[in-house]
C-alpha cells in the first residue's frame, strides 16, 4: 500500500467502521450479568459464639412450674426489664397504629373476621397468657410469655383455645392429644429466637400451615434454595431475626407498617428503624444492569424476585365463603369435605374454602399505607362489587409508591344489613351465642358487635340492627418472603408485553404493553402505501407493454 491510497475518504470509512464495531461490542457486554450485591456476605449469622450464661445452672429455673406465668416470674427475677420492653411491642399490644387502637385487635379481615369476642382462640398466638376477653390487663408483667419466642427445645406449644396458655394437663384438640410441655426443662434451655419459634405463629397464621400467607409457611424450615434463597439451608441459611432485627424486643418489619420503598439504602452503619427491607442489606441499586436498577424507583424488589406464591409443599387459602357455613348431614352431623389435594374444602363451622399452591401474585401500587377496616365501618364496595378490607394506598405519581406483589384473599362474610356496616361475629366460645356452638348468625353478630370497637377495654360495642347480610370482600397479604434465586425472577417480558402480569395495572405508560391502541390505523396507512406502490408498478408494466406492442 502506498500513501496515495490513504485519502481522507478512506480514513473516514475505516474510522467509522472501527467506532461502530466498538460500540456494538461494548453495548453487547452491557447487562450480561445479573448478580445480587453482597452475595458473598449473606452467610448465616447463626450463633458462632457461646452464650455467657447456662440457664440450666440457675437454681430458680430448677423447679416444676405449674403455669406459664410462674415461669415468667422466674425469668423476670433476673431479666427485670424484659416484660416492660415486650409490653411496648406490637407482639404484645396487637395495636399496629400505635395509640390509635387499630391493629390485629380491632381490625376486620376475611379469615376468622375479628379477634374481639373470640379471644381465647385467637390469642393462642399472643405473646402472653390469659387474654380471654376485653377485660384483659395489658400491664401484668408475669403474663408475658417469654418461652413462646425463646424456647430452643421445640417442645413448647401454646394450646389452641387456652388464651395463650400451654396445656397444663393432657387435652384433646383437632383430633390429637396435647400433652403439657416440661416448663422446667424448657426454662433451663432458653436461648435466642429461631425460625421455629417465630414460625410457630407466623407460619401458621389463620390457624394452620400456610393458611393465611402465601409466602410464610412451615416449608421455610426445610426450604430448598428455589423456595427461599435467604432461609434455605443450602442457600444463605438465614434466620428470621437476621432481617427482622430487634432492639429492646422491638422487632423491625410489620405487615401493617410496610416499606415498599426504602431510599435509605443499606442500613449499616446507620439504622433507620427498619432493617427488614430488602434495601437494608442490598441497597437500592443492587443489580449489574443499569436499566434494571432504574426500575427500583417504581418497582419493589419483591415484584420480580417473588414470581410466584406458595412455591413449596404448603397450600394457602385464597377463598373463604362464610355464607355456606351451617349445613349438616341428614342426621344432624357436621360436614367436612376435602378437595382433590387433601385440603379441607368445606366445614359446617366455616363454609367453603379454595386452596392454591404455586400461583402468581396480584400487583398493586403501594406506598406502605394500609387503610384498615373495623367493625361498624360502612360497607363500601369497589368496582368489582367487593369491599377491600385493607385497601393498599399508592399510585404511579406517588414517589413512595412501588408496584408490589400481594396475595389477594377473597371471600364472603356477614354484614349488618340494616345499618349496611361491617360486622364482627362471635364465633368461638362455650356460650349460647357463639356461631360455632349454635350456628345462628344473628346471635353471633349481636354478641360480637356488643364488644367490638374501640377503645378496646370498656367499650360499649358497635350498633347492630339485627339483620344479617353478606358481602364479598378482599384482603391483601403482602408478598415479601420466599425470594427466588435471581435466575427465577420475572423476565422483562413478564411485564413488558401486551398481556403480561401487569396488564391491568393502570396509571402509567409501559413499553411493550401500551401504545398499541391506534396500531390498526397506522398499519392501515402502511398498507395503503404498499397498495399505492403496487398499483403504480402495475400501471408502469401495463404502460410498457402497450408501448412495445
Site string for other proteins, 470-499 (x = CB under 8 A): ---------------------xxx--xxx-
30 belongs to the binding site for other proteins (CB under 8 A): yes
- Interacting residue with other proteins among 46, 360, 503, 537 (CB under 8 A): 537
d(CA 67, CA 147): 12
Three-class DSSP labels, 292-358: HHHHHHCECHHHHHCCCECCCCCCEEEEEEHHHCCCECCCCCECEEECCCCCEEEECCCEEEEEECC
Greatest distance between any 2 Cα atoms in the chain:
122
With binding defined as CB under 8 A, does residue 46 bind other proteins? no
CA–CA separation, 423 vs 464, rounded Å? Answer: 8
Helix residue ranges per DSSP H, 30-153: 68-78, 82-86, 90-93, 119-122, 147-150
Do the Cβ atoms of 352 and 389 come closer than 8 Å?
no
**What is the Cα gyration radius of the chain?**
30
10 binds other proteins (CB under 8 A): yes
Shortest separation between residue 34's beta carbon and other proteins, angstroms: 10
> Can residue 19 be called a binding residue for other proteins (CB under 8 A)?
yes
516-535 footprint of other proteins as x/- string (CB under 8 A): x--x--xx-xx--xx--x--
- Candidates 6, 23, 43, 53; binder of other proteins (CB under 8 A) is 23
Q: How far is the CB of 521 from other proteins (least distance, A)?
A: 9
Q: How many residues bind other proteins (CB under 8 A)?
A: 52
The Cα 311–Cα 477 span in angstroms is 16
Give min distance, CB of 24 to other proteins, in A.
6
| CB nearer to other proteins: pick between 268 and 526 | 526
Q: Select from 51, 38, 117, 42 the least CA-distant residue to 428.
A: 117
x/- string (CB under 8 A) for other proteins, residues 500-519?
Answer: --------xx-xxxxxx--x
Residue 35 engages other proteins in binding (rule: CB under 8 A): no
Specify which residues 408 forms β-bridges with. 476
Q: Measured from the CB atom, is 327 or 540 closer to other proteins?
A: 540
The cell numbers describing 88, all together, are: 411496648
Question: By CB under 8 A, what part of segment 60-119 binds other proteins?
Answer: none
Asked whether the bond before 365 is cis by omega within 30 degrees of 0, the reply is no
Select 32 or 340, whichever has its Cβ closest to other proteins.
Answer: 32
Residue pair 288/36 in contact (Cβ under 8 Å)? The answer is no
Q: Which of residues 256-315 bind other proteins (CB under 8 A)?
A: 291, 294, 297
- For other proteins, what does the binding mask look like between residues 388 and 427, x meaning CB under 8 A? --------xx-x----------------------------
Grouping H, G, I as helix, E, B as strand and the rest as coil, residue 133 is coil
Cell digits for 35? 448478580
CA distance 328 to 347: 9
* Nearer Cβ to other proteins (298/437): 298
Q: Which of 3, 8, 33, 331 binds other proteins (CB under 8 A)?
A: 8
Q: Catalog residues that contact other proteins under the rule CB under 8 A.
A: 8-10, 12-13, 15-17, 19-20, 23-24, 27-28, 30-31, 291, 294, 297, 396-397, 399, 491-493, 496-498, 508-509, 511-516, 519, 522-523, 525-526, 529-530, 533, 536-537, 539-540, 542-544, 547
Amino acid at each position: 500500500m502506498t500513501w496515495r491510497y490513504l485519502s481522507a475518504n478512506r480514513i473516514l470509512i475505516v474510522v467509522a467502521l472501527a467506532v461502530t464495531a466498538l460500540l456494538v461490542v461494548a453495548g453487547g457486554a452491557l447487562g450480561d450479568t445479573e448478580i445480587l450485591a453482597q452475595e458473598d456476605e449473606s452467610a448465616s449469622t447463626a450463633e458462632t459464639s457461646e452464650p455467657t450464661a447456662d440457664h440450666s445452672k440457675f437454681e430458680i429455673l430448677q423447679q416444676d412450674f405449674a403455669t406459664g406465668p410462674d415461669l415468667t416470674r422466674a425469668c423476670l427475677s433476673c431479666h427485670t426489664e424484659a416484660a416492660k420492653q415486650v409490653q411496648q411491642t406490637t407482639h404484645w399490644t396487637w395495636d399496629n397504629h400505635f395509640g390509635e387502637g387499630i391493629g390485629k385487635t380491632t381490625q376486620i379481615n376475611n379469615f376468622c373476621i375479628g379477634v374481639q369476642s373470640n379471644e381465647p382462640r385467637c390469642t393462642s398466638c399472643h405473646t402472653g397468657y390469659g387474654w380471654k376477653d376485653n377485660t384483659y390487663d395489658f400491664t401484668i408483667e408475669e403474663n408475658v410469655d417469654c418461652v413462646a419466642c425463646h424456647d430452643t427445645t421445640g417442645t413448647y406449644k401454646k394450646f389452641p383455645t387456652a388464651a395463650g396458655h400451654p396445656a397444663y394437663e393432657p387435652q384433646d384438640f383437632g383430633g390429637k392429644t396435647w400433652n403439657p410441655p416440661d416448663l422446667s426443662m424448657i426454662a433451663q434451655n432458653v436461648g435466642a429466637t429461631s425460625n421455629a419459634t417465630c414460625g410457630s405463629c407466623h407460619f401458621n397464621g389463620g390457624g394452620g400451615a400456610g393458611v393465611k400467607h402465601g409466602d410464610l409457611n412451615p416449608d421455610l424450615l426445610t426450604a430448598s434454595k428455589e423456595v427461599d434463597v435467604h432461609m434455605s439451608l443450602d442457600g444463605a441459611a438465614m434466620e428470621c431475626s437476621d432481617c427482622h432485627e430487634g432492639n429492646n424486643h422491638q422487632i423491625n418489619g410489620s405487615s401493617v407498617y410496610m416499606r415498599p420503598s426504602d431510599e435509605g439504602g443499606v442500613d449499616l452503619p446507620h439504622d433507620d428503624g427498619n432493617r427488614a427491607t430488602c434495601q437494608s442489606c442490598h441497597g437500592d441499586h443492587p443489580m449489574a444492569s443499569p436499566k434494571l436498577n432504574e426500575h427500583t424507583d417504581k418497582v419493589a424488589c419483591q415484584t420480580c424476585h417473588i414470581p410466584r406464591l406458595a412455591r413449596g409443599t404448603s397450600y394457602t387459602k385464597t377463598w373463604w365463603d362464610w355464607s355456606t357455613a351451617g349445613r349438616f348431614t341428614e342426621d344432624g352431623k357436621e360436614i367436612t369435605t376435602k378437595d382433590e389435594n387433601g385440603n379441607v374444602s368445606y366445614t359446617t363451622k366455616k363454609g367453603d374454602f379454595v386452596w392454591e399452591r404455586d400461583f402468581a401474585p396480584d400487583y398493586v401500587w403501594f406506598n406502605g399505607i394500609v387503610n384498615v377496616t373495623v367493625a361498624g365501618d360502612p360497607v363500601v364496595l369497589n368496582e368489582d362489587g367487593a369491599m377491600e378490607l385493607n385497601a393498599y394506598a399508592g399510585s404511579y405519581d406517588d414517589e413512595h409508591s412501588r408496584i408490589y406483589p400481594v396475595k389477594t384473599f377473597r371471600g364472603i362474610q356477614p354484614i349488618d344489613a340494616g345499618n349496611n356496616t361491617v360486622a364482627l361475629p362471635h364465633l368461638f366460645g362455650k356460650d349460647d351465642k357463639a356461631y360455632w356452638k349454635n350456628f345462628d348468625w344473628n346471635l353471633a353478630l349481636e354478641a360480637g358487635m356488643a364488644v367490638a370497637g374501640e377503645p378496646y377495654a370498656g367499650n360499649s360495642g358497635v350498633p347492630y340492627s339485627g339483620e344479617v347480610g353478606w358481602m364479598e370482600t378482599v384482603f391483601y397479604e403482602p408478598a415479601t418472603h420466599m425470594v427466588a434465586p435471581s435466575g427465577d425472577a420475572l423476565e422483562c417480558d413478564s411485564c413488558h408485553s401486551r398481556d403480561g402480569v401487569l396488564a391491568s395495572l393502570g396509571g402509567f405508560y409501559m413499553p411493550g404493553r401500551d401504545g398499541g391502541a391506534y396500531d390498526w390505523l397506522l398499519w392501515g396507512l402502511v398498507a395503503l402505501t404498499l397498495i399505492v406502490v403496487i398499483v403504480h408498478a402495475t400501471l408502469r408494466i401495463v404502460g410498457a407493454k402497450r408501448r412495445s406492442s
